[in-house]
A and B are shown apart, each in its own frame.
Chain A
Amino acid sequence: MSHHIVEVNNVRHEYADGTVALQGVSFRIHHGESVAIIGANGAGKSTLLLHLNGYLTATSGTIRIGDFPLTKSTLASIRRTVGMVFQDPDDQLFMPTVFDDVAFGPLNLGIPETEVEQLVENALTRVGAEHLMSKPPYHLSGGEKKRVAIATVLSMSPDILVMDEPTSGLDPFARRQLMTLLKDFRHTKIFTSHDLDMVLELCERTIVLHDGEIIADGPTLDIFCDDALLAQCRLEKPLTMQGCMVCGKK
């Protein structure tokens, strides 16, 4: 199936103030792959993500999602294909109730109301949040907000799931819960994160961004074993790969 493929070709992005955030980024992500995009603060991760659903337009270079190049005319279908979950769930959840929020995407797609109800229920059940349906978003806890935010894109049945810092701000239990949830998804997954232990567990492939360029792209484990690379990119080995602090054993 070609429609789950993300192809980024020599994308360059220059902000209006002249800052070059991406300089010639290329990669290809295949169907069902789970890929992490990591790098220091300001390396260009968020800018890159915003290109994947056409919120930002590349200064030069092309992006293909599935069978279509990303252009103005394909924008609507691409935004359905690429479900994007933002870092701060308060930005993602803007409707008066959880139900309305999860229904927002499907209603915009013109799906009839009777079916939307079912879609919303399915999406919320999927993330274990069906009991929150009639609650207003500001009454939810951080973990609940995050799960509902994921449901808001699941209800559009995206093929590709893009998440910015999925585990940030969650307590260990909520983080574990979220990771278990994400592990079960069969979508093509693209995450950015500083939570490298999560990356190690969830993503078989990692792309390292450094000053707007891809400096490494390969199996996650290989990248985390390259100490020189990690140091250069202001990164560190995931804690699970570091020695034990108490007994000193690796």
Chain B
Amino acid sequence: MPTIDGALFDIKKLDQLALGSTAIHRLDPRAKVLATLFFIIAVISFGKYELTALFPFFIFPVFLMTSGSLPVKYIAKKVLVVIPFALIIGIFNPVFDRTVLVHVGSVGISGGWFSWASIMCRAVLSVGSAIILVGVTGFPAICSALERLGVPQTFALQLHFLYRYIFVLTEEGSRMAKARELRTFGSNGKGMKTFAAVIGSLLLRTWQRAERIHMAMLARGFNGDFHTRQLFRFGRKEVSFLLIWTFVFILMRLQNFPRLLGQFVTGLM
């Protein structure tokens, strides 16, 4: 059974992966964020029946994963969590869209199946690359990168704080859940009513904590501006990383390589 503690442990693991020191880890986060952004834009910009042209795009997440030496199994598990949502989004496509697009032997495959598979493929690609981005960069670094790329500081800060206090909040939540569980017997005390009370008091506690954090910030001279160190350097490595991958994405977006390969092979025969 998934528990709050387990989920927490999982996030911490992703965090630890981001502490690696491979060449990919050392790249300026902005380069990785931008490349991933371009990648996702390229992937979602395809027509709804496109399937084969998406396959070459797997090269990007695979490249990041291997050069950042992330554990494949762990990342795959993370992606699997999100897949059911994509599955449900496209689940009625085969029912409603029955125009036959391709015949395999005597069996006609309808457009609905294609668009469904396409949605799944895109979900895996975009979610996978986003998770891998966190794994090779670290969430706080991504926030800072976003900020330096022009995202308003308020939003970047929200993300920063969200990530910092996710640990504190979930620990608090899991303590409360435990405390409730230890004093519930049978179905007594498990209902919506106590749940609402627990959530309500968690909200109030969060509120109080926010106030205490604000106090601690004020006590150290906080005056509305958030100063962070500018550690990043967008050097030659970053420029070439970004340029090469953007070029590859554009190329893969404009040319259907699997089809070209198919034509080449059939042309030979």
A interface residues with partner B (beta carbon < 8 Å): 50, 53, 55, 76, 79-80, 82-84, 86, 88, 90-92, 94-97, 99-100, 103-105, 107-109, 113, 116, 136-139, 152-153, 156
Which residue from A92, A103, A116, A137 sits with its C-beta under 8 Å from B216?
A92
Give the complex CA separation of A79 and B163 in angstroms.
27
Q: Which of B31-39, B70-78, B223-231 makes up part of the contact surface?
A: B223-231
Closest 7 CB pairs of A and B: A96-B140, A107-B227, A108-B221, A105-B220, A91-B212, A138-B167, A84-B219
Binary CB contact string for chain B from 161 to 186 against chain A (1 if under 8 A, 0 otherwise)? 10111011000000000000000000
Nearest B residue to A76, CB-CB = B221
Residue from B12, B227, B228 whose CB has the most chain A CB atoms within 10 Å:
B227
Residue tally, chain B, CB below 8 Å to A:
28
Known interface pairs A109-B221, A113-B229; A94-B215 also in contact (CB < 8 Å): no
Known interface pairs A136-B15, A138-B164, A138-B168; A156-B215 also in contact (CB < 8 Å): no
B225 / chain A contacts, CB cutoff of 8 Å: 108
Nearest B residue to A162, CB-CB = B219
B167 / chain A contacts, CB cutoff of 8 Å: 138
Binary CB contact string for chain B from 203 to 237 against chain A (1 if under 8 A, 0 otherwise)? 00000010011011111111101011110000000
Please state if B220 and A108 are interface contacts (CB–CB under 8 Å): yes
Please state if B221 and A105 are interface contacts (CB–CB under 8 Å): yes
Give the complex CA separation of A133 and B114 in angstroms.
51
Which residue from A50, A104, A138 sits with its C-beta under 8 Å from B220?
A104
Taking the closest CB of chain A, its distance from the CB of B210, in whole angstroms, is 9
Which residue from B15, B161, B213, B215 sits with its C-beta under 8 Å from A55?
B215
B160 interfacial by beta-carbon distance below 8 Å:
yes
Please state if B160 and A96 are interface contacts (CB–CB under 8 Å): yes
Please state if A91 and B209 are interface contacts (CB–CB under 8 Å): yes
Known interface pairs A79-B221, A80-B221, A100-B228; A91-B216 also in contact (CB < 8 Å): yes
Please state if B221 and A50 are interface contacts (CB–CB under 8 Å): no
Q: Show 18 residue pairs from A and B whose CB-CB distance is below 8 angstroms, ordered by the A residue.
A: A55-B215, A79-B218, A79-B219, A79-B220, A84-B219, A86-B212, A88-B212, A90-B168, A94-B213, A95-B164, A97-B140, A104-B222, A105-B221, A109-B221, A136-B15, A137-B164, A138-B164, A153-B220
